[in-house]
Amino acid sequence: MKGAGALVLAAALLVLTGCGPADVPAPGQAKVDVDTPRLREMKQAAGVEACSPGSASHVDGGLPALTLPCLGGGTAVDLATLKGPMVINLWQAYCGPCRTEMPALQDFYERYGDTVPVVGIDYLDVQPEAALKLVQKSGVTYPLLADPGGDLDRRDGFPPVLGLPYLVFVGADGSIFAQAGGVDSADELVDLVDKHLGVGL
């Protein structure tokens, strides 16, 4: 119970400080069930696509070998298997800028997802039902993983999560570039994909 309280406090600090200063302490592994009958029902109703591991191998300087569960049920995914070019978005249900950004990510996904897929990670969030309510409201259908304990931020080689929303650009060679701060439109993300991944859309 004490660990869960610390996790809630850390999540609250992320929200109250504009979705996250770098000095919010790591809360430890969360005991949050992101696969329940209710969550599966919500995911299906929202039309969220299934999580799917990739075929890539771990590369130095790339995504860590960390397996995350699928939000709302489904196949867990080892991040190191995901192949670029790809955009990964870390978000949270009660992060205001995340709420603003998600429709833009969905617009990008609908227009360019066949060339540059999008994967969301519900990060440091102990309210998976609230997360899926936001997903429904935003119209998001791209695959969604969950990292309620913030395990990703403590992996060697992964850039520190300095705030939410947080975009990670995965190159075709497995290299990654990350930046905090959201996008306002699909076109803005198109420019960032060109800049960081060298993919013209």
The answer as to whether 67 is a domain residue is yes
Chain center to CA of 108: 15
Instruction: State the amino acid at position 82 in one-letter form.
Output: L
C-alpha torsion angle, residues 184, 100, 69, 162 (rounded to 10)? 70
Query: For the domain that residue 142 is a member of, what is the CATH number?
Result: 3.40.30.10
Supply the range of the domain harboring residue 147: 2-196
pLDDT in tens, the chain (201 residues): 444 444 443 444 444 334 543 333 344 445 789 999 999 999 999 999 999 998 888 888 889 999 999 999 999 999 999 989 999 999 999 999 999 999 999 999 999 999 999 999 999 999 999 999 999 999 999 999 999 999 998 787 788 898 999 999 999 999 999 999 889 999 999 999 999 999 998
Q: What are phi and psi of 118, to 5 degrees?
A: -120, 135
Which tokens belong to 135?
């997903």
Q: Give the CB-side neighbour count of residue 177, counting CA atoms within 13 A.
A: 12
Yes or no: say if 97 and 104 are a contact pair by the CB < 8 Å rule. no
Query: Which residues, in sequence order, are CB contacts of 1 under 8 Å at separation 6+?
Result: none
Which tokens belong to 110?
């609908």
The answer as to whether 33 is a domain residue is yes
Domains identified in the chain, total number = 1
Task: Give the β-pairing of 77-78 and 86-91.
Answer: unpaired
The answer as to whether 63 is a domain residue is yes
The answer as to whether 118 is a domain residue is yes
Q: pTM for this one?
A: 0.84
Query: Which residues, in sequence order, are CB contacts of 187 under 8 Å at separation 6+?
Result: none
The answer as to whether 201 is a domain residue is no
Which tokens belong to 123?
């990060």
Instruction: State the amino acid at position 165 in one-letter form.
Output: P
Could you count the other beta carbons within 10 Å of the beta carbon of residue 3? 13
The answer as to whether 113 is a domain residue is yes
Which tokens belong to 106?
């969905």
